[in-house]
Amino acid sequence: MTKPTPSIIAIDGPAASGKSTLGHRLADELGYLFFDTGVMYRAVTWLALQRGVDVNDEATVTRLAETAQIDVAPSSKDDGRACDVLADGVDITWETRRHEVDANVSVVSAYAGVRQALSAQQRRIGLRGKVVMVGRDIGTVVLPEADLKVYLDASAEERAKRRYDEVRARGGNPDYQEILDKVIQRDHIDSTRAVAPLRPAEDAVLLDSDKLDADEVFERVKNLCK
Ligand code: DC
């Protein structure tokens, strides 16, 4: 008997491991919804910064996460975005990618109340099925019942190099060592936080994208879906 195609697919891993590229491609291939949960943490971080809220003020940031209407919708513009990110109806897709957001999002996403508010929304969407959900805790906390769990890893050096190349391709003049230091710092915060730390689920398939290019990773995961 052939197994049915998994309906709920969880992809976790550290920043710049290639999760979003893989998740997007897989969702396209299967005709599923692609949901990158990191954008929700980014949206709350952007709202806090924009409203002058100190990101170290856990209670206020948590209230913001509980009350803001954050929506993630299929991309409406052909400008390189994977999806639209809306906060209270306003398109903040590119704001969520800003440098200030990168620098503060790990602090915001370590707050238990923020995680609780956002994971509940993510879980509701995930349980509808036919979804590829990408994040840090999808297989462990948000959707432990996922039909397929993938944990995509890569060394900090390789991930920093990818970020460096991305910034250069956009015309920037990045400093590799600075990017590497930030990758290591974010990994540390994401994997040592008390609530839902970054780690593979026990039943996750582990893939190392240092050793596999994007096509090979995609083919492996596509085969797991057959
Ligand atoms: O994947 P990303 O770089 O867009 O994620 C932004 C931040 O959000 C990152 O610091 C980790 C956090 N995050 C999380 O804690 N849990 C998730 N499910 C997704 C992202």
C-alpha 225/C-alpha 30 separation (Å) is 9
For residue 193, give the ligand 1 atom closest to its CA: 15
Report helix, strand or coil for 206: strand
What does the pLDDT look like over 128-167, one tens digit per residue?
999 999 999 999 999 999 999 999 999 999 999 998 998 8
Among protein residues, the one whose CA lies closest to atom 16 of ligand 1 = 136
CA 36 to ligand 1 center in whole angstroms: 9
Average pLDDT over residues 202-219: 94
Bridge partners of residue 153, in order along the sequence? 208
Average pLDDT over residues 194-218: 92
Cβ atoms of 38 and 134 closer than 8 Å? yes
Residue 11 has pLDDT above 60, yes or no: yes
Residue 125: CB atoms within 10 A of its CB come to: 16
Residues in Cβ contact with 72 at an 8 Å cutoff, skipping those fewer than 6 apart: 35, 36, 39, 40, 83, 84, 85, 86
Among protein residues, the one whose CA lies closest to atom 1 of ligand 1 = 38
- CATH node for 8-215: 3.40.50.300
For residue 119, give the ligand 1 atom closest to its CA: 18
What does the pLDDT look like over 46-98, one tens digit per residue?
999 999 999 999 999 999 999 999 988 888 898 888 889 999 899 999 999 99
CA 136 to ligand 1 center in whole angstroms: 6
Residue 2 has pLDDT above 80, yes or no: no
Among protein residues, the one whose CA lies closest to atom 4 of ligand 1 = 38
Helix (H) or strand (E) holding 82: none
CA 208 to ligand 1 center in whole angstroms: 19
Instruction: Report the amino acid identity of residue 50.
Output: Q
